[in-house]
Structure 1
Amino acid sequence: MFSHLPPLNSIRVFDSAARLLSFKAAAVELNVTPTAVSHQIKALEERLGTLLFERKIRAIELTPEGEKLARAAYHSLHQISDVLEEISNNQTILTVSTTASFAAQWLVPNLDKFYRQHPGIHVVIKTNEHLEDLQKNKRIDLAIRYGQFGAIKYGTKLVTERFGMYATSQYLKDFPLIEDATLIETTWQNPDLPRITWDKYFPNDNFNKMKLKIMSYDQEHHVIQAALAGQGIALVSSLLAHTALQNGWLSPHPTGETLTGLTYYLLTTERHKNTLKVNVFRDWLLEELERYR
């Protein structure tokens, strides 16, 4: 019945190249050489008697025939993958892309709770301050993003954090006056994010007149680590500082107030939005983060 079909592997290679529009990127995704990808595509084109890609200098583009096959290949492989996952007895892998700070300070410390409820799902965490393209990288099931949340397709708001002043108890005793303390803040790597720094925390004319010693890091978990080492008072998210506060490693500043921060939200794709593992993980996140709202 299906004797006229090309080998499944050639369709898989074509799907990767069509999504990424790059033989080199497809080779990386499939863990083969670019030459192997090129040979597979050429063999598929010869079998079909039509070109699937237009080869240009340093670029490839799908032909109309290639676009038609790309749509069919993507949906077919997606359906096969979902069925295999459904009937397989192997542990399901959920790949999550998020920031290094959220992973280190909140997600990893809380993952054991998820595993106790869902022992059949293994969470793989990818940390990158640069946004992953979920449409191109099909290995990522969902991303936990940080910023300003709006009307985002396949997006779910998780929690809007609050920033506060935190330090070790000993540091607060040694430096009871803000003017004498070292203040630690985060300078985002992403220039599009609104700044949450000490000048925002003290929005008055006296701030510029005060001779404050301010240190800056480009990762919030570095700010927290500096505070844990007794180097100063951290201006950080209470969400990310939760474990340190819960264990008594850090304490709120006695005169400190809280400042509304940015929002964590979950983002997935049409391909993954209805999978069981994504829905289970989203529900768990919403439940766990309820206490911070």
Structure 2
Amino acid sequence: MYSKLPSLNVLRTFDAAARLKSFKKAADELHVTPAAVSHQIKTLEEGLGTRLFKRRTRAVQLTSDGELLSETTFGIFRQLNDAVNNIIGAKEVLTVSTTSSFASMWLVPNLEKFYRANPGIEVSIHTGEQKIDVIRDRRIDLTISYGQFDPAQADAVKLITEKFGIYASPAYLDKLTSLNDAQLLETEWVNKTLPPIAWEALIHRHRDEDIPPPNYTIRRFDQEHHVIQAALAGQGIALVSSLLVENAVKERWLVPVSNMSLQDEIEGFTYYCVVPPRNQRNKNVAAFTDWLSSEIDNTLV
């Protein structure tokens, strides 16, 4: 019945190379040599009578036939893995990609709630500031992206549009004798496609043109969670996302600064979830996205 099917070992090698876009990375994952991976892929291509990869200098790219086979092998091996995990009672791993700041300041502090509700799922967090092509990168199950949301984007669901506010530690404010002596903290985005949200623009918008501007010192970091950590360490007043400081404000490690005559919050950017078509019916992905939406809906922003 299955006489024309390649061996399971060959398909497993192909699946690794297709997911990782590299024979060398596939070899590392499978604990074999790159030459062995290349040989098995060549044997598979000869058996099928078609090219599955376009060879590049440092990577490989799937052909249209390779994409078709890859979609199938990915789904099959995912189902096999889930079935085996269910039989042996092992936790299933869900790989989520997001920004470093969202991971460290919101996702990780709240993740224990997800684990309590879903003890059979382990979340592996992949961080980075550049957007992951989750449609093609099969190592990632879903992404929590950050930026300007396009409602027309396929497979994307809006989570929340944040607000930016002004926060400092109570100890810093207690010892601050004059706001003119304050050090102001802000983020200079690594992702240059994001418009800046900066102290200078905020101060200028509220300043009386007849009064000289205060001589504030502004310190910039390229990660928003570094700005928050600097504020927690008592280094200044931070202009940051209200969502990301939610836990710090609840614990009163940081407090809103209310005496700077800059009362209005600034609308920031949007967090949105992207689930590739291959995972639309995955129960673990659905459990995580349902929890994520519910938890963010309950947050005070």
Would the TM-score normalized by the shorter structure come out above 0.5? yes
Indicate yes or no: 2:226 matched with 1:219: no
Q: 1:96 corresponds to which residue?
A: 96
Query: Conserved in 1, the CA contact under 8 Å of 2:156 and 2:273?
Result: yes
Q: 1:250 corresponds to which residue?
A: 254
Letter in 2 for 1:187: E
Map Cα deviations across residues 265-286 of structure 1 (whole Å, 9 max, x no partner): 1112011122111111111111
Give the alignment of 1:115-194 within 5 angstroms. Answer: 115-150=115-150, 151-175=152-176, 177-194=178-195
Q: 2:290 corresponds to which residue?
A: 283
- The alpha-carbon deviation at position 56 of structure 1 amounts to 6.3
TM-score by length of 2: 0.86
Separation in 2, partners of 1:59, 1:69 = 15
Indicate yes or no: 2:98 matched with 1:82: no
Map Cα deviations across residues 141-182 of structure 1 (whole Å, 9 max, x no partner): 111111111122111111111111111112212225432200
Letter in 2 for 1:81: R
Comparing 179-188 with 133-142, greater Cα deviation is found at: 133-142
- The alpha-carbon deviation at position 138 of structure 1 amounts to 1.0
Indicate yes or no: 2:300 matched with 1:292: yes
- The alpha-carbon deviation at position 126 of structure 1 amounts to 1.1
The number of equivalent residue pairs is 290
Unaligned runs of 5+ in 2: none
State the superposition RMSD in angstroms. 2.6
Query: Conserved in 1, the CA contact under 8 Å of 2:232 and 2:253?
Result: yes
Separation in 2, partners of 1:59, 1:104 = 31
Query: Conserved in 2, the CA contact under 8 Å of 1:186 and 1:216?
Result: yes
Indicate the SS of the match to 1:271.
Answer: helix
- The alpha-carbon deviation at position 20 of structure 1 amounts to 5.8
Map Cα deviations across residues 69-95 of structure 1 (whole Å, 9 max, x no partner): 541442244145235415723212111
Cα–Cα, structure 1 residues 20 and 80, in superposed 2: closer, same or farther, change >3 Å?
A: closer
Seq. identity, %:
48
Indicate the SS of the match to 2:162.
Answer: strand
Map Cα deviations across residues 101-160 of structure 1 (whole Å, 9 max, x no partner): 111111111111111111111111111122222133212111111111112211111111
Separation in 2, partners of 1:59, 1:239 = 39
Cα–Cα, structure 1 residues 134 and 67, in superposed 2: closer, same or farther, change >3 Å?
A: same
- The alpha-carbon deviation at position 96 of structure 1 amounts to 0.7
Separation in 2, partners of 1:56, 1:73 = 18
Letter in 2 for 1:178: L
Unaligned runs of 5+ in 1: none
Indicate the SS of the match to 1:134.
Answer: coil
